[in-house]
């Protein structure tokens, strides 16, 4: 039997309404805004949570006063309080494990004719798509499951997430269905992020046979001699910087040979299992006090373990990475009838 109750997350009753799921062994919290998996823990209030909790105060991006920065549409507020860029709407409420769909990275650009000139335009989508910033609804529930859903107006997709609990295992099923009945290719990433205190001293296990530095600017990489798309040592890519290490941060695409990872620390293990055919990539995001702009302020420590349909969280990939990278697919096709997959999460 699973118990489902309403709650609030991070102590703010004007924001982050959430649902708590528990079965006497494991407990999970799912936020209403963004549908983030904010907590995985024992079924008690005082237990360790491996999921990242940013130090900044959460806000509903649709309620943040517009402060003159370009990017206002459908509530995707580009607020100076959250960096003033395309990621600020997501950062305003991000916690733990967030869903990136139909984008993994920034909005795509496209060229349009304006008079005699061609000009570059961008989609009206926040970083990682709409799912992480829109309010979800409880669409169905039973004795042993709870189902949450959201419609994505820009992507024209309906996303349904179904949670069920069995002992120390959380099953998370996801169905993505086109609202317009049209099949399409999308980007899809399950963006799991762990943070302190669980991150400090943690050991990460994952089966990967290659790792490549992302072609992204402005990062203080752990691999200073590597350029974008260069291969790096997989074991070193998985390793975490020590709490007292110099500031660093990078994004590395790892090619998974098994759809699983484990993070172990403090006598506990967070485990994930997923469908490798859907998510062949494990993107490793390391942030260790390297970002000093708002809202990061040089204090955040995170490790993203992001299993994905594409290797890098970039905008529209160039043609040479549009279909595959290093011999592995970078495409996720959603038929008109929809596509489903299931994740297993354990906390032992």
Q: What is the secondary structure of 33-73 as a DSSP string?
A: BT--EEEEEESSTTS---B---SSPP--GGGSPP-S-S--S
Average pLDDT over residues 107-131: 86
Residue 44 — pLDDT band, cuts 50, 70, 90? confident
Average pLDDT over residues 72-93: 73
Query: What is the per-residue pLDDT for 112?
Result: 82
Lowest average pLDDT, out of 114-128, 168-182, 258-272, goes to: 114-128
76 pLDDT more than 70: no
Instruction: Tell me the average pLDDT of the chain.
Output: 92
Average pLDDT over residues 50-72: 74
Average pLDDT over residues 310-328: 96
38 pLDDT more than 60: yes
Query: What is the per-residue pLDDT for 77?
Result: 59
Look up the CATH number of domain 3-347: 2.70.98.10
Who contacts 280 (Cβ-Cβ below 8 Å, separation ≥6)? 255, 256, 309, 328, 329
Domain range list for the chain: 3-347
pLDDT tens track for 246-284: 999 999 999 999 999 999 999 999 999 999 999 999 999
pLDDT tens track for 156-169: 999 999 999 999 99
Strands 3-8 and 17-22: antiparallel
Tokens of 50: 């491996």
Lowest average pLDDT, out of 51-65, 85-99, 184-198, 334-348, goes to: 51-65
82 pLDDT more than 90: no
List b or e across 134-170, with b for residues whose CB sees 16 or more CB atoms inside 10 angstroms: bebeeeebeeebbbbbbbbebbebbbbbbbbbeebbb
Query: What is the per-residue pLDDT for 15?
Result: 64
């Amino acid at each position: 039997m699973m118990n489902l109750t309403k709650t609030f997350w991070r102590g703010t009753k004007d924001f982050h309404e959430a649902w708590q799921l528990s079965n006497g062994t494991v407990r999970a919290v799912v936020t209403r805004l963004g549908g983030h998996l904010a907590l995985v823990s024992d079924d008690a209030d005082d237990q360790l949570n491996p999921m990242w909790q940013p130090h900044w105060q959460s806000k509903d991006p649709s309620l943040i006063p517009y402060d003159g920065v370009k990017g206002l549409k459908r509530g995707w507020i580009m607020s100076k309080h959250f960096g003033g860029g395309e990621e600020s709407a997501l950062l305003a409420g991000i916690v733990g494990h967030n869903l990136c769909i139909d984008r993994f990275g920034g909005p795509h650009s496209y060229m349009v004719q304006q008079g005699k000139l061609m000009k570059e335009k961008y989609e009206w989508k926040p970083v990682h798509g709409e799912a992480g910033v829109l309010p979800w609804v409880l669409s169905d529930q039973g004795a042993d499951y709870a189902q949450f859903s959201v419609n994505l107006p820009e992507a024209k997709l309906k996303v349904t997430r179904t949670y069920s609990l069995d002992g120390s295992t959380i099953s998370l099923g996801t169905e993505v269905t086109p609202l317009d009945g049209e099949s399409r290719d999308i980007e899809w990433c399950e963006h799991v992020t762990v943070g302190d205190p669980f991150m400090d001293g943690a050991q990460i296990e994952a089966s990967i046979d290659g790792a490549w530095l992302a072609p992204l600017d402005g990062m203080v990489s752990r691999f200073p001699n590597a350029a974008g798309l260069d291969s790096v040592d997989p074991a070193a890519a998985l390793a975490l910087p020590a709490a007292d290490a110099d500031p660093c941060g990078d994004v590395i695409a790892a090619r998974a040979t098994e759809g699983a990872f484990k993070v172990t620390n403090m006598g506990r293990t967070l485990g994930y299992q997923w469908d490798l055919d859907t998510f062949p990539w494990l993107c490793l995001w390391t942030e260790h006090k390297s970002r000093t702009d708002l809202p990061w302020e040089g204090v955040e420590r995170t490790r993203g373990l992001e299993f994905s349909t594409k290797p890098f969280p970039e905008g529209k990939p160039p043609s040479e990475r549009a279909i595959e990278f290093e011999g592995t697919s970078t495409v996720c096709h959603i038929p008109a009838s929809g596509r489903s997959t299931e994740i297993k999460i354990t906390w032992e």
